[in-house]
Chain A
Amino acid sequence: MAAVTPLLLLLLLSSAPSFSSGSRNAYNINGRVKIPQGLGTKGYALPGRMSNVKVLLNGGQNITFLRPDGYFSFHNIPAGTHLIEVSAIGYFFSPVRVDVSARNPGKVQAALTENRKGLSELVLEPLREEQYYEIREPFSIMSLLKSPMGLMVGFMLAVAFLMPKLVENMDPEEMRRAQEEMRSQGVPSLSSLLPGGAMN
C-alpha cells in the first residue's frame, strides 16, 4: 500500500503491458490490485491489510498473494479464457474474465464480469466496500417512541389527555344525551372501575 492515493483508473492505463508471454504455450498473467486509501480507513480497522488479500484463478486452481505494491502474477497459464477473483475482507471485487491469447501474446483482454466493463489493463479495484455489521442507531427519543412499548405509552397518554379535550369540544346538548345514553347502558366510568372508585 505504498503511497496509493485514490487515483483515477484512467491515469493507470499508461504503465507497462500487463501480459507477458512465457515459454512455449504457457503464459504469465500479471496484474495489480488497488485499494484506494479513501476506503477502508473509516469504520472498523480490520480491512485494508494487503497481506490478507488473495488472488484466485479459475475458482482456486491457482492462488497467489499481493506484493507490497499490490502487484500479483500467475505463472504458466495455458492460453484460453480464465477467471480471476480477488478475496479481500471488507471489499467487494468483481470477478474478471481474462483472455490469454496464444496468437498474439501481450494482447490485453480483460473484463469485469459483474458489469461487463472492459479493462484495458489488469488493474483490479473494489466495486464497493462491504460493511458486515449493522450500524447501531444512536439513541433517540423517536426510536424509543417507535418501539411497541413507546407506542403503548403514547396511545395511553393520547387517550388520557386528548379524549377529555374532544369531549369538551362537543356540543353540550349532545354531550348530555351521550352521557344519558351511557348511563342507561351502564357503562362504568374509569373511576368506578378502579378500586376505591366506588367510594364516591
Chain B
Amino acid sequence: MAIRSFFLFILFFSSSLSPVFSLYEDQVGLMDWHQQYIGKVKQAVFSSQRAGRKRVVVSTEENVIASLDLRHGEIFWRHLLGADDVIDGIDIGLGKYVITLSSGGSILRSWNLPDGQMVWESSLQGPKLSKSFLLVPTNLKFDKDNVLVVFSNGRLHAISCIDGEVLWKKDFEAESFEVQQVIQPPGSDLIYVVGFAASYQFEMYQINAKNGELLKHESASFSSGFSGEVSLVSTETVVALDSTGSILLTISFQDGKISSQQTPISNLVEDSLGLAVIIPSSVSGIFAIKTDAVTVFIRVIGEGKLEVVEKTTHEIAVSDALSISEDQQAFALIQHASSEIHLTVKLAHDWDGNLLKESVKMDWQRGLVHKVFINNYIRTDRSYGFRVLIVMEDHSLLLLQQGEIVWSREDGLASIIDVTTSELPVERNGVSVAKVEHNLFEWLKGHMLKLKGTLMLASPEDMAAIQSMRLKSSEKSKMTRDHNGFRKLLIVLTRAGKLFALHTGDGRIVWSHLLRSLHKSEACQSPIGLNLYQWQVPHHHAMDENPSVLVVSRCGPSSDTPGVLSFVDTYTGKELSSLSLDHAVVQVIPLPYTDSTEQRLHLLINADKHAHLYPKTSEALSIFKREFLNIYWYSVEDQNGIIKGHALKCKCTGEVADEFCFDTRDLWSVVFPSESEKIVATVTRKLNEVVHTQAKVVADQDVMYKYISRNLLFVATVAPKGSGEIGSVTPEESWLVAYLIDTVTGRILHRVTHHGSQGPVHAVFSENWVVYHYFNLRAHRYEMSVIEIYDQSRADNKDVWKLVLGKHNLTSPISLFSRPEVITKSQSYFFTHSLKAIAVTSTAKGITSKQLLLGTIGDQVLALDKRFLDPRRTVNPTQAEKEEGIIPLTDSLPIIPQSYVTHALRVEGLRGIITVPAKLESTTLVFAHGVDLFFTQLAPSRTYDSLTEDFSYALLLITIVALVAAIFVTWRLSERKELQEKWR
C-alpha cells in the first residue's frame, strides 16, 4: 500500500497531461541562456555602403553566411547552409546583394544585404568537376544590369545580378584542362581563363565578357610541369612553381601571347629552403612563398624579373589587396612577436613605405593569426584609416582599429567536439551580516514590486524593473557551488583545440585555454582533440585538490597516429601536465575505480589491442590488479560489421617491460552479414546514470523487475542499399534490425526487424529501455520505437510466502552460461519531424520521471514525456491502468509547442544535447550545442521539491497576516458572545 500511495504521490505531480515544461514569455532568460556564433571565418567582404550601419559579410567553415555589425561585432542576420552545400565564395554585388557560390560551384544565391532575405537562387550545371570562382566585376554592365562571372564545373557563366538569369555560358570541355585562375581586368571587356592541361601545358583563353565568345586560345608547354597553386601578380601575369618546387615560373600572357621566365628559388634566396609553396595573394606585383621556417616576399619587376623584398622567420599573415584609389593598392601584413602582433599596412608598389604600423597586445591563448581582412575608411581629416579583421588560431574573430581590439567574438564555440561538467569551488567564507541586512530591504522591495506585478498594479517602469531584477540576479552567476547544484562549469573542447569553461548561470566564459599539446609541432603534425573525460572529481577525502579533466587527442586524422593526453585544472584552466604517448588511442575506457586522490583510472586501448593503464602510479596498478578479471569492454568495427568483446589477458609481452601495459583477448564476436546488414547506430547507457528502483509497480498491484545491466548495447543495422538517403530505395529492399546485446557475454537478448524502414537511426538508452527514431518507408513518415526489457528470473520473488520460507532465488548463483530470462515489450509510434540528436533527462537519484529531449530538424529541442513511449499503452486503458498514468494509445506522438525546451529560439546547426543532473532531485540541466549554444534547467515532473521562482512570498505573508487578524477578530467575537451568554 505504501508503494501505491507513493505512486499516487508521484502521480499527483506528474499526472496532468498538459506540457510539463512550459514557460511564460517573461520567464525567458531566467534559467536559460542562448548564445549565437558563426564559426571560423573563411572569407570576409566589407560592405562599402556609405549610408547606414557598417557591415561585414562573412562565410565560415561551419557553413554559415552572416552579416555582422562592424562597430560591435553583433550578428545582423545569419543563415546556415546545408552540410553538403559548402560555401565556395562570397561577394557583394551592386552594393546591396550578397552573392554566395556554394555546393562546389553549382548553387548561386543572392541575399538582400539589409535583412538577409534570399532574393534569387540559380543552379549552375557543367560538364565536369573543377575549381570554382566567383567574380563580381564593378564595371561590367549589360543594359544597366551588373554581371556576375562564375566559373564552376568546367563552365564559365555570366549571370545577371538582379534576377540570377544566365546571360551566356561557355564550356571548357577539354578533358585534362584544370582551371587555375579566372581574371577580369578592370576597365576591359575581357575575361581570361588560365589553367593547366595535362599538368605540363599552360593554357590561356581570352573571352569576350559581353557574349562569351572565345577570342583567343594560346598554350605553351613547360617540360618541368607545375605544382600547387598559382599566384596572380598582375592582371596579365601569374607565378607558379614547377613540379620540383624549386623553380619559379613567371608566365605573362599580355595581348594574348604567352611568354615565360624561369627563376630558381636558390637564385633569390641563398640558403636552401626545402620544399616551398606559394601563398595565394591578390596583391599586384608581389607574391609570397613559404617553406617550413621562412616566408619570403618577392616582387615582380618588369619582364618577369624577381626581387626579394623581405624574408622573415616570424609567423605571418597577409590580407588580400584593397584598392584605395585609382592605381593604388594597399594590403595588411601581420607578424607575431612574443606577446604582441605587429600590423603593417603597405602599398603594393612601395614595400618600404608603411601606411600604418601598429602593435597590438594579443593574448597568447588566441594562438596565431590565421587570416587577415583589410578595410579602409576616411578619417575626419580626409586621410585614410584602416581597420583589419583577423581570424585567430582558436577561431575567434577580432576587429583591430587604431592599435586596439575594438571587439572580439569567440567563434571557436561554434564547433564543440565534446562537453563535460565540473563543480565550482565550495564557498569558504560565511556571508557577512551587513550584506544580509542591506539585502533584506532590497529583498522586501523586490517582493513588493513582484506583488504589484501579480496584482496587475505595476506601471510599465515597474515591470521593466522586475524583469531586469529577475534576469541579473547575482545569485545564479556566483563563482561558488550552490546548494541545489545549479551552478556548474561546462568544460567544452572545441575543434580549434581550445578548452572553454562556461558558467551555467549566465553562459559567460570563466576561462579559456589553448592547449599547448594540441599545438602543431615537429612530432605532432596535425593534432586533433578527441574527447574529454573527468579525470579527478574530488569529494569526501582529497577535498583540497582541484578537479581536473583529461583531454585525449591524437596527432593526425588516422586512428593509428600517437595520442596525446593533457590534464587541465578546471578551477583555473591551467594545464597541469601533458603526455605525448608512444602509442595510439583507439578507445578510452573510464573505469569505475578511483585512487586515494580521487583520480579516475582510465584504460586506453591502442591500435594493436594493448591496454594501457593511466594514471601510471603503483597505487592505481594495485587497484587495477584487484579488479583485473572484472574488466570487459567491446569494440565496434562498423566497416566490417563486427562487434567484439574483449577482456584482459596478462602483462604485455614486449621487449620493453611496461607494467602498465596489458595484453587483451577476444571473448566473443558478433558478425553481421555484410550483404544484408550494415551497422548504423550503437548506443549504451550512460556510465553515470542512477536508477532509483528496479521494481516497477504496474496496475493491479503487480510488480515487474527491470532488467538493469550496465553491459547492454543497442545496435541498429540497415540493409546496405537503404543506408543512403530517403527516396533512394523502395520499401521492399530496405529493412532495419534492432538488437540488444550483452557486452560481457556477447549474447543477443533481443532482435526485432522493421521491414520497409531505413536510417538514419538516432537512439537513446536509459535504465531498461531504449528509444530509437528511424524512417518508415511504407508510411513515408518517421517512426519512434521503444523497447523495454524486464527480468523474469526474479518474477517469482513477489510471493511473500516464498521469501519467508526461503524458497526464493535471490541467493542462487548467476552464471553467464545460462540464458537470462528476460521479456521485452515494444511499441512504435509515428513522429512528425526528422531528428538531429536525442537525449534523455537524468536526475541525481533517478526518482523523477524521464523526458526525452529530441533535437528536431528545425534546430529546436522538444521535451517528450517518456510516458508517451510506454509499450503498455493500449487504446482503451482500464481504470487501474489509467490510475497508473497510462495514456491511451495513439498512432503518433504529440508535439506540444509549449514543451519546446528552446521555446521560440533555434539552436542553429544543432549537434548534441547533454543532460547533467543537478543536486536537486527534480531538476536536470540541459545543454544543447551546435553553431549556437543553449542551456536551461528542466524539471520533468515539475519542481516538487522546491518553490518555483515565481512563488509569491508576499502573498504568503499577506495570508499569514490575514489569518492572524482573523484569529483576533474571531477571538473578540467569541469573547463577546461568551459574555452575552453569561449575562443571559
- Pick from B87-95, B174-182, B347-355, B958-966 the stretch touching chain A: B958-966
Per-position contact with B for A135-166: 1 when CB-CB < 8 Å, else 0?
Answer: 01011000010010110110011001000100
Q: Tally B residues with Cβ within 8 Å of A.
A: 74
Q: Roughly how many angstroms separate A34 CA and B590 CA in the complex, as a whole number?
A: 52
Cβ–Cβ < 8 Å partners of B727 in chain A? 58, 78, 80-83
Cβ–Cβ < 8 Å partners of B455 in chain A? 139
A54 CB-CB contact with B under 8 Å: yes
Nearest-neighbor residue (CB-CB) of A64 within chain B: B121
Q: Are B971 and A149 in contact (CB under 8 A)?
A: no
B447 CB-CB contact with A under 8 Å: no
Cβ–Cβ < 8 Å partners of B820 in chain A? none
Q: Tally A residues with Cβ within 8 Å of B.
A: 63
A94 CB-CB contact with B under 8 Å: yes
Q: Are A51 and B77 in contact (CB under 8 A)?
A: yes
Nearest-neighbor residue (CB-CB) of B729 within chain A: A80
A76 CB-CB contact with B under 8 Å: yes
Q: Are A28 and B123 in contact (CB under 8 A)?
A: yes
Taking CB atoms and an 8 Å cut-off, the chain A residues in 123-137 that contact chain B are: 130-134, 136
Q: Are B25 and A133 in contact (CB under 8 A)?
A: yes
Q: Are A95 and B123 in contact (CB under 8 A)?
A: no
A102 CB-CB contact with B under 8 Å: no
Q: Are B903 and A132 in contact (CB under 8 A)?
A: yes
Highest count of chain B CB atoms <10 Å: which of A51, A59, A76, A157: A59
Q: Are A114 and B832 in contact (CB under 8 A)?
A: yes
Cβ–Cβ < 8 Å partners of A78 in chain B? 727-728
- Known contacts A61-B84, A87-B857, A191-B971; is-contact A92 B895 (Cβ 8 Å): yes
Measured CB to CB, the closest approach of chain B to A121, in angstroms, equals 19
Taking CB atoms and an 8 Å cut-off, the chain A residues in 3-30 that contact chain B are: 23, 28
Measured CB to CB, the closest approach of chain A to B107, in angstroms, equals 7
- Known contacts A59-B760, A95-B833, A152-B963; is-contact A44 B25 (Cβ 8 Å): yes
Q: Are A60 and B780 in contact (CB under 8 A)?
A: no
Measured CB to CB, the closest approach of chain A to B416, in angstroms, equals 19
Q: Roughly how many angstroms separate A120 CA and B832 CA in the complex, as a whole number?
A: 21
A101 CB-CB contact with B under 8 Å: no
Q: Roughly how many angstroms separate A176 CA and B84 CA in the complex, as a whole number?
A: 92
Q: Are A75 and B974 in contact (CB under 8 A)?
A: no
B726 CB-CB contact with A under 8 Å: yes
Cβ–Cβ < 8 Å partners of B107 in chain A? 75
Q: Are B858 and A132 in contact (CB under 8 A)?
A: no
B243 CB-CB contact with A under 8 Å: no
Measured CB to CB, the closest approach of chain A to B184, in angstroms, equals 26
Cβ–Cβ < 8 Å partners of B963 in chain A? 152-153, 156
Q: Are A51 and B728 in contact (CB under 8 A)?
A: no
Q: Are B858 and A60 in contact (CB under 8 A)?
A: no
Q: Are A75 and B123 in contact (CB under 8 A)?
A: yes
Q: Roughly how many angstroms separate A81 CA and B978 CA in the complex, as a whole number?
A: 88
B793 CB-CB contact with A under 8 Å: no
**Count of CB-CB pairs between chains A and B under 8 Å:** 171
Cβ–Cβ < 8 Å partners of A82 in chain B? 726-727
Nearest-neighbor residue (CB-CB) of A127 within chain B: B832
The majority secondary structure among interface residues of chain B is mixed
Cβ–Cβ < 8 Å partners of B115 in chain A? 51
Q: Roughly how many angstroms separate A58 CA and B969 CA in the complex, as a whole number?
A: 72
- Known contacts A23-B125, A63-B81, A147-B955; is-contact A136 B975 (Cβ 8 Å): no
Cβ–Cβ < 8 Å partners of A59 in chain B? 725-726, 760, 775, 834, 857
Cβ–Cβ < 8 Å partners of A133 in chain B? 22-25, 28, 898, 903-904
B470 CB-CB contact with A under 8 Å: no
B118 CB-CB contact with A under 8 Å: yes
Q: Roughly how many angstroms separate A92 CA and B900 CA in the complex, as a whole number?
A: 12
Q: Are B975 and A113 in contact (CB under 8 A)?
A: no
Cβ–Cβ < 8 Å partners of A190 in chain B? 970-971, 974
Measured CB to CB, the closest approach of chain B to A87, in angstroms, equals 3
Q: Are B83 and A60 in contact (CB under 8 A)?
A: yes
Cβ–Cβ < 8 Å partners of B892 in chain A? 114
Measured CB to CB, the closest approach of chain B to A30, in angstroms, equals 11
B62 CB-CB contact with A under 8 Å: no
A66 CB-CB contact with B under 8 Å: yes
Q: Are A149 and B955 in contact (CB under 8 A)?
A: yes
Nearest-neighbor residue (CB-CB) of A82 within chain B: B727
B456 CB-CB contact with A under 8 Å: yes
Q: Are B900 and A132 in contact (CB under 8 A)?
A: yes
Taking CB atoms and an 8 Å cut-off, the chain A residues in 71-94 that contact chain B are: 73, 75-76, 78, 80-83, 85, 87-90, 92, 94
Q: Are B726 and A200 in contact (CB under 8 A)?
A: no
Measured CB to CB, the closest approach of chain B to A182, in angstroms, equals 13
Q: Are B898 and A160 in contact (CB under 8 A)?
A: no
Measured CB to CB, the closest approach of chain A to B200, in angstroms, equals 34
Nearest-neighbor residue (CB-CB) of A72 within chain B: B121
Q: Roughly how many angstroms separate A66 CA and B781 CA in the complex, as a whole number?
A: 24
A184 CB-CB contact with B under 8 Å: no
Cβ–Cβ < 8 Å partners of B79 in chain A? 65
Q: Roughly how many angstroms separate A197 CA and B971 CA in the complex, as a whole number?
A: 9
Q: Roughly how many angstroms separate A88 CA and B583 CA in the complex, as a whole number?
A: 49
Measured CB to CB, the closest approach of chain B to A194, in angstroms, equals 5
B356 CB-CB contact with A under 8 Å: no
- Pick the contact of B959: A47, A130, A149, A191 (CB < 8 A): A149
Q: Are A189 and B118 in contact (CB under 8 A)?
A: no
Nearest-neighbor residue (CB-CB) of A62 within chain B: B82
Taking CB atoms and an 8 Å cut-off, the chain B residues in 869-914 that contact chain A are: 892, 895, 897-898, 900, 903-904, 906
A172 CB-CB contact with B under 8 Å: no
Highest count of chain B CB atoms <10 Å: which of A23, A46, A50, A85: A85
B117 CB-CB contact with A under 8 Å: yes
Q: Roughly how many angstroms separate A17 CA and B120 CA in the complex, as a whole number?
A: 19
B454 CB-CB contact with A under 8 Å: yes
Measured CB to CB, the closest approach of chain B to A5, in angstroms, equals 20
Instruction: Name 13 extra pairs, CB < 8 A, besides A132-B900, A191-B975.
Output: A51-B118, A58-B727, A59-B760, A61-B725, A81-B777, A85-B857, A85-B858, A95-B832, A133-B898, A136-B26, A149-B956, A156-B963, A160-B970
Spell out A's residues near B (CB within 8 Å): 23, 28, 44, 46-47, 50-51, 54, 56, 58-68, 73, 75-76, 78, 80-83, 85, 87-90, 92, 94-95, 97, 113-114, 130-134, 136, 138-139, 144, 147, 149-150, 152-153, 156-157, 160, 164, 189-191, 194, 197, 200
- Could you list 5 examples of A-B contacts with CB < 8 Å? A58-B727, A62-B82, A92-B897, A150-B959, A157-B966
